[in-house]
Amino acid sequence: MALRTLATRKKLKEGLGLGLGLGLQSVRGLQTFSLPDLPYDYGALEPAIRGEIMQLHHQKHHQTYITNYNKALEQLEAAMAKGDAPTVVKLQSAITFNGGGHVNHSVFWKNLAPVHEGGGEPPKGSLGSAIDTNFGSLEALIQKMNAEGAAVQGSGWVVSNLAV
Ligand SMILES: [Fe+2]
């Protein structure tokens, strides 16, 4: 029981602490996820990102993380009920990977915005200044993020935590 509580509480805190609207649900005492809606239409970011790419990424890619996370939780519950410790341990990586994929995608969607809502332009003001101060330029930040992310499991999610 403690293991299940530990795994799900951590994900809950991560999601709830960021106010991400992660689509939390409770099934048989386990906290599962459902695919949250995007805060804009699939085509709202065109021409920068095509609507069909956004839809594919949201409905297929993001949904797959959620499906696999929820499936791993069900397998965890079954393994714990049987006292199958090796399977409980083995499932931790799937829970972390897929739960992390869900949280990362939820953050990602909220960091994009249509042009009419301020998206599509290089950061200005305090964020633009913080990027220049900490990384030298926006282009240097992009290069650093791409380099750091290339080696990370799950196609390279990198998060910069700047105080602005
Ligand atoms: Fe993705």
Q: Residues 122-155: pLDDT tens digits?
A: 888 998 999 999 999 999 999 998 888 887 766 6
Q: How far is the CA of 83 from the centre of ligand 1 (A)?
A: 34
- For residues 10 and 89, membership in a common domain is answered with yes
Q: How far is the CA of 84 from the centre of ligand 1 (A)?
A: 32
Total domains, the chain: 2
Which tokens go with 120?
A: 């599509």
- For residues 159 and 126, membership in a common domain is answered with yes
- For residues 80 and 33, membership in a common domain is answered with yes
Which tokens go with 161?
A: 């935590």
- pTM over 0.85? The answer is no
User: Residue 74 is part of which domain span?
Assistant: 2-121
Q: How far is the CA of 2 from the centre of ligand 1 (A)?
A: 31
- For residues 55 and 130, membership in a common domain is answered with no
Burial of 147 (0-12, 13-18, 19+ CB in 10 A): exposed
- For residues 61 and 135, membership in a common domain is answered with no
80 or 29, greater pLDDT:
80
Q: How far is the CA of 54 from the centre of ligand 1 (A)?
A: 10
Q: How far is the CA of 144 from the centre of ligand 1 (A)?
A: 19
Lowest mean pLDDT across 19-33, 50-64, 119-133, 138-152: 19-33
Q: How far is the CA of 85 from the centre of ligand 1 (A)?
A: 31
- For residues 26 and 87, membership in a common domain is answered with yes
Q: Contact 4/80 with Cβ under 8 angstroms?
A: yes
